[in-house]
Amino acid sequence: MTLVMGIVNVTPDSFSDGGRYLDAEAAVAHGLALRVQGADILDVGGESTRPGSERVAPAVEQERVVPVVRALAQAGAYVSIDTMNASTAVAAVDAGARLVNDVSGGLADPELLAAVAATGADVVLGHWRGPSADMYARAAYADVVTDVLAELAERVEAAAAAGIAPSRVILDPGIGFGKKGEQNWATLRGTARLVGMGPRVLVGTSRKRFLAETLAGDPDAQADVGERRRDLATAVTSVLAAQAGAWAVRVHDVAATRDALAVARAWEGESRWASPTRSR
């Protein structure tokens, strides 16, 4: 059964809910609410990766996330830390995180993979071609699915060289990162090929721009598509990712995604969703 990862943004500038949970108490309360709604994993992040965002200092990031990670872990939640910084990854694991979610796949901080290897935590390696500030300038592919798979295979090799066994690795195709419009849809259609590489697969489409562009029918009008419609589109793509074999989906609206997955399981039957790569 595909797991649901709930997003806990402890940031002032995330594209969807920036500033809403910047206060640690509010972030913890939000995380606990997502857990009640059915989140299997809580992904805590202190640095926005929205298009055009700038990096923040690791010390600032840790000030935001470590208290939240510690409180959620102490409450019994399975916590992931969403970070591109080695020092933040280590601090968060020390505070109770069990998974390091690096959208850069270890490219933003050359020390991250070795640091994670030493902690024993699992790691998500995202497909990434550069910082959010100018990532769309790198959205050129011969064949987007083939290129994404090849570049992720390189990250798996880098993780292994750093001492992280493939069984600890989760791959993320990086929907929205260095990909425009149809490139995201093509990448999603290639989910089964990514699953075929062997490691578990995490897919995150939640509220992203390409969904709004599709719903609006016009890239210039995508800002007019509200959260409710984006969440519906997220639930649909999350179900499709699950059907393709994704180990987990990363979402803002946990309840809607849980409902969508339950309906899809009822339609197709539980056996259709069984996967040898679902354990965590």
**What was the pLDDT predicted at 144?**
98
208 catalytically annotated: yes
Q: What percent of the chain has pLDDT over 70?
A: 90
**What was the pLDDT predicted at 15?**
53
Q: What is the pLDDT of residues 62-82, one digit of tens each?
A: 999 999 999 999 999 999 999
Q: pTM for the complete prediction?
A: 0.91
**What was the pLDDT predicted at 275?**
46
* 240 has pLDDT over 90: yes
250 catalytically annotated: yes
Q: What secondary structure, in 3-state letters, does the chain show? A: CCEEEEEEECCCCCCCCCCCCCCHHHHHHHHHHHHHHCCCEEEEECCCCCCCCCCCCHHHHHHHHHHHHHHHHHCCCCEEEECCCHHHHHHHHHHCCCEEEECCCCCCCCCHHHHHHHHCCEEEEECCCCCHHHHHHHCCCCCHHHHHHHHHHHHHHHHHHCCCCHHHEEEECCCCCCCCHHHHHHHHHCHHHHHCCCCEEEECCCCCHHHHHHHHCCHHHHHHCCHHHHHHHHHHHHHHHHHCCCCEEEECCHHHHHHHHHHHHHHHCHHHHCCCCCCC
* 198 has pLDDT over 50: yes
Q: What percent of the chain has pLDDT over 90?
A: 80
Residue 39 to residues 56, 253, 261, Cα–Cα distance (Å): 27, 10, 12
Q: What is the pLDDT of residues 12-28, one digit of tens each?
A: 754 555 456 668 999 99
User: Of 70, 250, 258, 265, which one is the catalytic site residue?
Assistant: 250
**What was the pLDDT predicted at 153?**
98
Q: What is the pLDDT of residues 242-279, one digit of tens each?
A: 999 999 999 999 999 999 999 999 998 865 554 434 34
Q: What is the pLDDT of residues 103-162, one digit of tens each?
A: 999 999 999 999 999 999 999 999 999 877 677 788 899 999 999 999 999 999 999 999
**What was the pLDDT predicted at 11?**
85
User: Of 208, 209, 230, 258, which one is the catalytic site residue?
Assistant: 208
